[in-house]
Every structure is written in structure tokens, then in C-alpha cells.
Amino acid sequence: MAERMEGWTLEELAAALGGQLNGPPEKRVLRPVPAGEPDPEGITFSTGPAYDEKIRGSGVGVALVSPGTELDCPTLEVPHPRLSFGWVLQASVRALPLSSGIHPSAVVSLDADIDPTAQIGPFAVIERGARIGPRARVYPFAYVGEDCVLGEGVVLYPHVVLYQAVRLGAGVIVHAGTVLGADGFGYFWDGRQQQKIPQVGGVIVGERSEIGANACIDRATCGATRIASGVKIDNLVQIGHNGQIGAHTVIAGQTGLSGSVTLGEQVVVGGQCAFKDHVSVVDGAILAGRTGVFSDIETAEAYYGLPAIPVKAALRQLALIKRLPEIEKRLRALEQSLESQKKT
Amino acid sequence: MAERMEGWTLEELAAALGGQLNGPPEKRVLRPVPAGEPDPEGITFSTGPAYDEKIRGSGVGVALVSPGTELDCPTLEVPHPRLSFGWVLQASVRALPLSSGIHPSAVVSLDADIDPTAQIGPFAVIERGARIGPRARVYPFAYVGEDCVLGEGVVLYPHVVLYQAVRLGAGVIVHAGTVLGADGFGYFWDGRQQQKIPQVGGVIVGERSEIGANACIDRATCGATRIASGVKIDNLVQIGHNGQIGAHTVIAGQTGLSGSVTLGEQVVVGGQCAFKDHVSVVDGAILAGRTGVFSDIETAEAYYGLPAIPVKAALRQLALIKRLPEIEKRLRALEQSLESQKKT
Amino acid sequence: MAERMEGWTLEELAAALGGQLNGPPEKRVLRPVPAGEPDPEGITFSTGPAYDEKIRGSGVGVALVSPGTELDCPTLEVPHPRLSFGWVLQASVRALPLSSGIHPSAVVSLDADIDPTAQIGPFAVIERGARIGPRARVYPFAYVGEDCVLGEGVVLYPHVVLYQAVRLGAGVIVHAGTVLGADGFGYFWDGRQQQKIPQVGGVIVGERSEIGANACIDRATCGATRIASGVKIDNLVQIGHNGQIGAHTVIAGQTGLSGSVTLGEQVVVGGQCAFKDHVSVVDGAILAGRTGVFSDIETAEAYYGLPAIPVKAALRQLALIKRLPEIEKRLRALEQSLESQKKT
């Protein structure tokens, strides 16, 4: 995958990771791969027999293993194979290409304020009043609307859209196709048709938060939709107008929050969850995938189901639903037994 | 949020809204904010004690209140605070910036017909046969495909894609990243592979309908996928090929309609609902969030569940599911009681 | 819908389809339409009474019918009306317009390798190391990232994004707004914040696969997320990092796969399904819409529910849940009957 990487000789890798090499020191490996990938230039790792089994016979270039592990490929014995593999992953990251400065094709308002160290790619549009911080990277086709603010080191991948008055803290990453600041979904029926409630608020995202691809975070009706710091939001997630997401909360793919939902800090939300408007969830709660939250969640437990209940109760419910045929049968048996009693 | 707004002095606001001012007439306020927002330049409103409580101590610039309400900030007493606040919201709307005429970077076919009052932004692409009506606004990166028609005042936000033969009535708004007219999902298995069923129809959207961000409305296999007038569709909604949506129907986020679904007029559909192909829903029906519609809905009630049943029945079901542990216990008690009877 | 089509006279159509014409030979028809569409230039078809009923009175231009069918419009009698209609659909396909060669506005790296027969539209961005095969069509605003490979005849509709090291086999079609290769959703809690797990793998898509609009297929953490040949993926689908999708598998709209899910060959997945990370599904399994897969599926049956169980069992469960009010009533009757026994 990583054709441009020069990789490492096994000797270099052993030096970098501080391990004991069993294999040819001058052999070159290029990229991290999952256990079992038949890649003679690949680097993989094992934390136990399940991994070992996949690796055996795969012909991988080298495996990072715990001391004493025997495999049929070159190995590098390290105290913490998973951590060392993390180092290899990190060393293999290549930012998508982007020239320094402002690409000549970009359309940048004279009233925008762009740090000289920021990089603005081809066909980006930066509207008046926008402020782009140091080392920010704005990839092609990004639309940075009026009065938007990008903190230091913000990354906007291709096709990101910030409507107006969207503020991203330092280190925020927004993936391709994501839309921040579209109008919230607010109408009222005037007796003849749906009338639009004007949406004039903004979106504020705290430092080091990351938002996946093709997600939608709507602007507030007024005030701001607020994503705190360190929040991680997956692809295709919808956050309605005036949502408030606490620090370090994690939201998995395709989850949807209606308007004015409040999630506390360090909440963990599985995929495809749904939140009714105006509900709030306490710090530290865990929502399993597909959970539907229709009322406030006030204790920091794990929840599941529709509507959400504590996981243990939900599993008991599921088990009983599974046993419904048996329950109905037992009921019928009782009825017959009683019936025959009466007859006698 | 709205840095460019000059706002109002409290005196100006009182004059505009026709109310009784309790506060310094020359004080300037800039923007509408939700109750509780600590914004000394903010305008908020109260319709009762719950709002009052949030406002107290927040230091907001001014609150629009019913006559006789006492708060610890400047107030403007008006007969209908919510309506007056709506006026402030409306007065705070700023269209995203767009120059008049056709931006020099746009690629416009010589065979397209563009009204001189329409505005076409940077990097828009307008294909042959397209017709753009008066006062239409086409934001950057919009793709208006072959033979597409935009009525008067249509707004296409950045990155909207209209494939081919998509017709939008006057006043239609389409938010960023939405795709109208992609191929419907139609294949048949030929014994060796899935064969594509050609998709050659169009999409027709009636006047004043609004479609959220990153939604998908597929073109018809043939004929047209039809969205009537005044329809409101939220973010990330999917409308399959040949769908027919009646006037003033509202569809909340992440809902999905398979092919050939028919929704009547003034239907209300919650978030994350699902519709089986070819089902139809009567005018005025209400589907709560997450409802799954697997067969026609023929009476205009509120529905919930998977499959959809009337809300009352669905709530009774949910209550009984919750009571399953108790029900199973009672059943066991009966069994034991009968067992002991037999023994005696 | 298809204004540019010259269409056919009924005589030409009869000659092309080999049928018996009942109607004026020189009459011109322009486009396929669904039964019932009141289009005097339309071509429709009937396979039986339900279609006939819709067609009668509609005034359609011509109907393709089985021999002996009588309608109130011109008819063309053919042995297999549906197949003949398929021919009409196919003949009505018009590719979205695209000039030959590379549009002067496109930004193409000097280190990209583009076949001279490929077509690159306005505002496309092709990064270094990319290879674009013969007859590939890259529509406006597509982003073909570093080291991406497009096989022969690949079609990227407007706004498609390929991050890096994404390889598409011959004949692959990717619809508008879809993002291939965004970072997988991987973090670990370091005691103070979520730390990003670097995502450095790629995406590989096999020949003739088609991916709908606004979908997301994440790059692998390392190695590759793999979509095999002939796979059909609908709009707004999410495939997590390191997913493996077998040949000819079909995935309907808004379905979400967490990381490292494996689907076999010819699996059929309905809309809005959910897959827990690391589960695998056997070849030929069928998942009804909204099914949640939390553990491996090992036999090729049809499944439904949350969690997934064989459809028959799921329907039995649903039926019993519906009967819960009755079951509870019967239980109460038994309790009372036993109670009264005791009293006597």
C-alpha cells in the first residue's frame, strides 16, 4: 500500500525498536500488514497463539513477537509487540500531498486571513472573514465559508464544507465530504405549509476532535452546536442543530442525534444509535450499537435497546423474547391441565 | 456567530417589535441566542418559568418576555415573545456570499440557458441543456448535469450534484453534498453475476421543497422519482428510484426509502425509518423514529415499531416486553402451584 | 426525461424488437416509462392484468405486450415484453457528458500516468503516482489521490474522493460523493484522551463492482479493505476498515459494517443492516433489512432481527410479541382460576 516508503532493513528495525532479531539483518521490509497477509515485504505482529497461527505459512517479511516465540519467518523479539507495531504504523503515515502556500487555482477572499504557513489546495474556496491558522491544511474542493475559523494544524480533507461561522479548534481533522453548518431541520406548520425556522447559529468544535467522512453537523438555530475537545465522530453521523457533545466522547458510524441533544464527557456511542431531540446523557455512559435513546440517561452504565435500558436487563429481555415460543407452549400446557382438572 | 450583523439598539428593537422596554435604550445587541447563553450582546426570549430560570444570571443582552415578567437583565415586553424572537431570527439570516453573474472559473456549457439574474459561483459546472431560472443561486462545486432545470430562486449549496434530467421547482433548496439523480439500485442475477438494470429516468422536485445535506435521491429506472411541493427532507436521507413523495411531507434524518415507495401528502416520518420497496403510506400518517414499514399504511394514524403498528399498540407491546421477566416468573409460579396440587 | 434521444418510430421499434405492431407505423416514441405514465411519447410494457389496468386510459405512446393482449393504445406484441423493455432501457442510456482527453482546468500531477483514451473532467485533481487506465471516465471534482489506480473503463462520478493507495478494477463505477480510503475509526484511551491509531492501509475494489452515492469505504489500518468483483453497494453504506466483501455480494442502502467484517460471496444484505466488528458471514447468506449481526453467520439461510436469527424463527418471534397482550391475559385468567380453586 505504501509504495513511497523506503521501509527498514531488519537491522534498522531492530535498532529502532530495541529488540532481538532472528533473521537476515540486511533484509528490507516496507509496510505494516495484518497477521496472515502473505507479504514478503510486510511487517506484522503477534500477541499470542491466534496470531501465530495466522502468521505461520504466510511468508510475511518479519513478525514482531514476545521473547521466546517461534515462527517460520524472521522475527523480532520485543517486550510489547503491539506497542512496537504501533510505532511502525505511526512511522508509515504519509500525509496526502499538498503544496505549500496557496494553490493558484484556489479562490480566496481578500477579506480572509490566512497564516503564511497554512497550505491551501487546488480549487479550495475561502470566503470573506475566514481565518486560517498556522500549519492548517485545506485540501482540494474544501469550502471554508464566511467568518469560519480554522485553528492551528486543522486538516480539512477534500470536499469538506463549512457553511458560515464554523470554528474548529487546533488539531481538528475533518474527513472528506463532511458538512458542518448546514441548516438545522426546523419547520412549523402554518396551517397551509411548513414554514422554515431560520437557522442562524454556528458550529464550534474543540481541539483535537476528529470527524469522519460524509457526516453532517448542523448549525444551531441560534447560539452554537458545540463539539468539545477530543471528540471522535465516525462516518455518516448526523448531529442536529444545537447539539452539545462533551469532551472525549466517541460516536460510531451512522448514529443520528436529533436537535438539542446533550451528550456528556467520555460517553461511548455505538453505530446506528438514535437520540430523540432534547435528551441528555450523563458523562461516561455507554450506548451499545443500535440503541435508541428516548429519555434522559442519568447513570453512567452500559445501555442497549429501543428504548435504551441497562445492558443486563436488555439481554434478559432478549433471552426471554427468544424463549417466547417455549413460554407460550408452557402456558398452553397449563391451560390444558387446568381444563382437564375441571372436567374431572 | 453573526459577526457581520450590525444588530440593534434596544430602542430600535423595541420600535421594530412594538414592545415595552425595561433597560438602557442605547445598548446594542447583535444576535439571537438560546436562553441561558451568557452573551451580553445576545437577544433571547422566554415563554415561562423554565426559560426564566435559564436566563437569570446568564447576563444576556436582552430577553423578549410576556408583559409582567421580571428578570435580572434588560427585558422587552411583547405580546408573543416566541413570535417576536422568530422575527429576530429571520432578520439575522445572511445568505452565504455569492457574487452576481457567472464566476469566471465556472465551466458553463454554451448550450446551457442561464437567466442573467442567476448567480453561479466559483468552480460550478453547468452541462449542456441545463436551464437556470431567475435569481437561482448555484454555490461553488455544484454540478448541474445535462438537461437539468432549476426554477426561480433555487439554491444549490456547495457540492450538490444533479446527474441528468433533474428538475427543481421554484424556491427549492438543496444542501451541501446532496446527490440527486444517481442510478437507482437495480440488478438482476443472470446466473453468473449481477447485471445492471439501466437507470434512465429523472428526478422532479416541486416548489419550495428543501433537501438536507449529504442526502441521496436516485433517478427513476424510467419515468421520474417525484418529490412534490413543500416537502422537507433532512440530512442523509435516501430515496430510492421511482419514489413518490406527496406535498408537505416531512422526512427526518437518516431515513431510507427503498425503490418505488409512495408517501402521501403531509406524512410525517421520524429519523432512521425504513420503507420496504413498493409500500405506500396514506396522507397524514405519522411514523415515529426508527419505524420500519413493510406493508401499506392505510389509515392516517401514528405508527411505531418494526413492523409498524399503531403507536398505542406498540407502546403496549413495549410495556409487555419490559414485563417479560415478571410474566415468566408468574408462569413458573403457576406451574409449581399446579405441580404441588398434583402431588397432594 | 431523455430529451436528446431521437427515439424510434413504431415501425423502427417493431423491426428492432422483432414484434407484431398494432398501431401507426410512423408514430414516434421517445422514452421508456412505467406503466400508467400518461406520456404520449412513452414506451411501456405489460406482463399481465395488473399492468394492463394501469396502462388503460393512460394514453401512453406504445405498450410492449404478450401476443393477444388488447389495450386502448398502440401495442407491440413480443414474446418477452420485460426483456424487450430492458432493451429499450439499455438503448436509452446516455452517459453524462465528458470531453475527450484532460480538461484544461484539471490539476494533474506530472507523476501521474494517464492513458490517452481516459477522459478527465473539469476541476478533477489527480495526485502523484496515480495511474488511470484506458477509457476511464473521471467526472468533475473527483479527487484521485496519491498512488491510486483506476482500471480500464472505471467511472468516477462527480465529487468522488480516493484518499491514497485505492485500487479500482476494470469497469468499477463509483457514484457521486462517495469517499474511498478515509481513515478507519480506530482510537485507544491513554488514560487522558483518545489516541488515534494510524490508518495506513488501502482499499482494493475488484472488477465490475459498483458503489452508490455518498457511501464511505474506509482504508485499512494496514493491509487493505477488500471489495471483490461484481459487488454492488448502495448509497450511504459504510464499510469499516479492513472489511472483506466477497464476490457478487449485494449491500442495500444505509447498511453499516464495523471494522474487520468479512462477508462471503453472493451474500445479500438488505438496507440499514448493522454488523459488529470482526463478525463473518458465510457465502450465500441473506440478511433482511434492518438485521443486526452480532456474531458469525455460518449457514447460508435467510436471517432477520436483532440479533439475527433465521427468518422463520424471527417471524414466529414477531408473531408472539404481537400476541403478548393475549398471552398476558391468558396468564391472568389462569392465575384467577387457580386462586378461586384455592378458595373453594
Task: Give residue A339's pLDDT band: very low, low, confident or very high (50, 70, 90).
Answer: confident
Give yes or no: residues C234 and C288 share one domain.
Answer: yes
Q: What is the pLDDT of residue B274?
A: 98
In the stretch 105-134 of chain C, residues with CB closer than 8 A to chain B read 105, 121-123
Query: Residues of C182-196 as b/e, b for ≥16 C-beta within 10 angstroms?
Result: bbbbbeeeeeeebeb
State the CATH number of the domain containing residue B64. 3.40.1390.10
Q: What is the pLDDT of residue A90?
A: 96
Chain centre distance of CA A273: 14
DSSP B118: -
Give yes or no: residues B165 and B247 share one domain.
Answer: yes
Chain C partners within 8 Å of B254 (Cβ): 254
Task: Give residue A4's pLDDT band: very low, low, confident or very high (50, 70, 90).
Answer: low
Chain centre distance of CA B98: 24
Range of the domain at C323: 314-343
Q: Give ipTM to 2 decimals.
A: 0.95
Q: What is the pLDDT of residue B341?
A: 79
In a domain, C121, yes or no: yes
Q: What is the pLDDT of residue B1?
A: 41
Mark yes or no for CB contact A218/B210 under 8 Å: no
Picking from B227, B226, B225, B235, the residue whose alpha carbon sits closest to that of residue B209 is B227
Give yes or no: residues C309 and C319 share one domain.
Answer: no
Residue B39 backbone dihedrals phi, psi, to 5 degrees: -120, 105
**Is C87 in CB contact (< 8 Å) with chain B?**
no
Q: Mean pLDDT, chain C, as a whole number? A: 95
For C320, name the nearest residue in chain A, comparing CA atoms only: A324
In a domain, B342, yes or no: no
- Average of per-residue pLDDT across A103-122: 98
In a domain, A179, yes or no: yes
Distances (CA, A) of A46 to A12, A20, B273: 20, 15, 43
Query: Cα distance from A222 to chain B (closest Cα, Å)?
Result: 5
Mark yes or no for CB contact C127/A335 under 8 Å: no
Lowest mean pLDDT among B324-328, C91-95, C130-134, C293-297: B324-328
Closest by Cβ to B161, choosing from C176, C230, C331: C176
Helix (H, G, I), strand (E, B) or coil at A89: helix
Report the percent of chain B where pLDDT is more than 70: 98
Give yes or no: residues C229 and C240 share one domain.
Answer: yes
Give yes or no: residues C138 and C262 share one domain.
Answer: yes
Closest by Cβ to B230, choosing from A109, A193, A200: A193
Instruction: Single out the residue in A92, A127, A160 at which a domain terminates.
Output: A92
- Is C103 a catalytic site residue? no
Residues ≥6 apart with Cβ < 8 Å to C290: B274, B292, B306, C270, C271, C272, C273, C304, C306
Give yes or no: residues B142 and B16 share one domain.
Answer: no
**Is C276 in CB contact (< 8 Å) with chain A?**
yes
Rounded to whole angstroms, the Cα distance separating B276 from A34 reads 39
**Contact (CB, 8 A) for B224 and C117:** no
Residues ≥6 apart with Cβ < 8 Å to A86: C197, C198
Q: Mean pLDDT, chain A, as a whole number? A: 95
Q: What is the pLDDT of residue C183?
A: 98
Amino acid in the structure at residue C210: E
CB pairs under 8 A between A and B: 190
Task: Give residue C337's pLDDT band: very low, low, confident or very high (50, 70, 90).
Answer: confident
Residue B249 sits at the vertex; the CA angle it makes with B248 and B253, to the nearest 5 degrees, is 130
In a domain, B318, yes or no: no
Give yes or no: residues A161 and A65 share one domain.
Answer: no
Q: What is the pLDDT of residue C211?
A: 98
**Contact (CB, 8 A) for A88 and A82:** no
- Catalytic residue, candidates C80, C241, C248, C278: C241
- In chain C, the number of structural domains is 3
* Disruptive mutation site among B146, B175, B203, B238 for chain C (greatest number of C CBs within 10 Å): B238
Report the percent of chain B where pLDDT is more than 90: 92
- Average of per-residue pLDDT across C270-299: 97
Query: Cα distance from B42 to chain A (closest Cα, Å)?
Result: 9
Give yes or no: residues B229 and B280 share one domain.
Answer: yes
Chain centre distance of CA B233: 4
Q: What is the pLDDT of residue B337?
A: 86
**Is C305 in CB contact (< 8 Å) with chain A?**
no
Task: Give residue C4's pLDDT band: very low, low, confident or very high (50, 70, 90).
Answer: low
Mark yes or no for CB contact A127/B97 under 8 Å: yes
Helix (H, G, I), strand (E, B) or coil at B331: helix
Mark yes or no for CB contact C146/A325 under 8 Å: no
Chain A partners within 8 Å of C321 (Cβ): 321, 324
Q: What is the pLDDT of residues A296-319, one digit of tens each?
A: 999 999 999 989 999 999 999 999
Rounded to whole angstroms, the Cα distance separating C230 from B187 reads 11
Give yes or no: residues A284 and A324 share one domain.
Answer: no
Q: What is the pLDDT of residue A344?
A: 66
Residue B65 backbone dihedrals phi, psi, to 5 degrees: -135, 165
Q: What is the pLDDT of residue A202?
A: 97
Picking from A290, A284, A229, the residue whose alpha carbon sits closest to that of residue A255 is A290
Mark yes or no for CB contact A182/B159 under 8 Å: no
Task: Give residue A342's pLDDT band: very low, low, confident or very high (50, 70, 90).
Answer: confident
**Contact (CB, 8 A) for C161 and C176:** no
Mark yes or no for CB contact C271/B292 under 8 Å: no
Give yes or no: residues C212 and C337 share one domain.
Answer: no
Q: What is the pLDDT of residue B2?
A: 42
Helix (H, G, I), strand (E, B) or coil at A124: coil
In a domain, B326, yes or no: no
Instruction: Single out the residue in A68, A92, A116 at which a domain terminates.
Output: A92
In a domain, A2, yes or no: no
Task: Give residue C48's pLDDT band: very low, low, confident or very high (50, 70, 90).
Answer: very high
Instruction: Single out the residue in B70, B91, B112 at which a domain terminates.
Output: B91
Query: Cα distance from B94 to chain C (closest Cα, Å)?
Result: 27
Task: Give residue A5's pLDDT band: very low, low, confident or very high (50, 70, 90).
Answer: low
Q: Give the catalytic positions of A in this structure.
A: 241
Helix (H) or strand (E) holding A65: strand A62-65
Distances (CA, A) of C214 to A316, B179, B184, B312, C292: 38, 8, 13, 36, 22
Q: What is the pLDDT of residue A2?
A: 42
Q: What is the pLDDT of residue A1?
A: 41
Mark yes or no for CB contact A93/C292 under 8 Å: no
**Is C98 in CB contact (< 8 Å) with chain B?**
no
As a three-state string, the secondary structure of chain C is CCCCCCCEEHHHHHHHHCCEEECCCCCEECEECCCCCCCCCEEEECCCHHHHHHHCCCCCCEEEECCCCCCCCCEEECCCHHHHHHHHHHHCCCCCCCCCEECCCCEECCCCEECCCCEECCCCEECCCCEECCCCEECCCCEEEECCEECCCCEECCCCEEEECEEECCCCEECCCCEECCCCCCEEECCCCEEECCCCCEEEECCCCEECCCCEECCCCCCEEEECCCCEECCCCEECCCCEECCCCEECCCCEECCCCEECCCCEECCCCEECCCCEECCCCEECCCCEECCCECCCCEEECCCCEEHHHHHHHHHHHHCHHHHHHHHHHHHHHHHHHHHC
**Contact (CB, 8 A) for C122 and A123:** no
Mark yes or no for CB contact B222/C322 under 8 Å: no
In the stretch 14-53 of chain C, residues with CB closer than 8 A to chain B read 31-34, 37, 39
In a domain, A3, yes or no: no
Q: What is the pLDDT of residues B132-156, one digit of tens each?
A: 999 999 999 999 999 999 999 999 9
Picking from A134, A141, A117, the residue whose alpha carbon sits closest to that of residue A126 is A141
The x, y and z cell numbers of residue A306, run together, are: 429501543
In the stretch 169-198 of chain C, residues with CB closer than 8 A to chain A read 177, 179, 182-183, 185, 187, 193-194, 196-198
State the CATH number of the domain containing residue C159. 2.160.10.10
Mark yes or no for CB contact A328/C320 under 8 Å: yes
For C108, name the nearest residue in chain A, comparing CA atoms only: A122
In a domain, C15, yes or no: yes
Residue A234, pLDDT above cutoff 50? yes
Give yes or no: residues C25 and C55 share one domain.
Answer: yes
Closest by Cβ to A198, choosing from B92, B175, B236: B92
Amino acid in the structure at residue B299: T
Give yes or no: residues C221 and C123 share one domain.
Answer: yes
- DSSP assignment of A157-189: -TT-EEEESEEE-TT-EE-TT-EESPPP--EEE
Q: What is the pLDDT of residue A340?
A: 84
- Average of per-residue pLDDT across B289-296: 96
* Disruptive mutation site among A103, A143, A164, A251 for chain B (greatest number of B CBs within 10 Å): A143
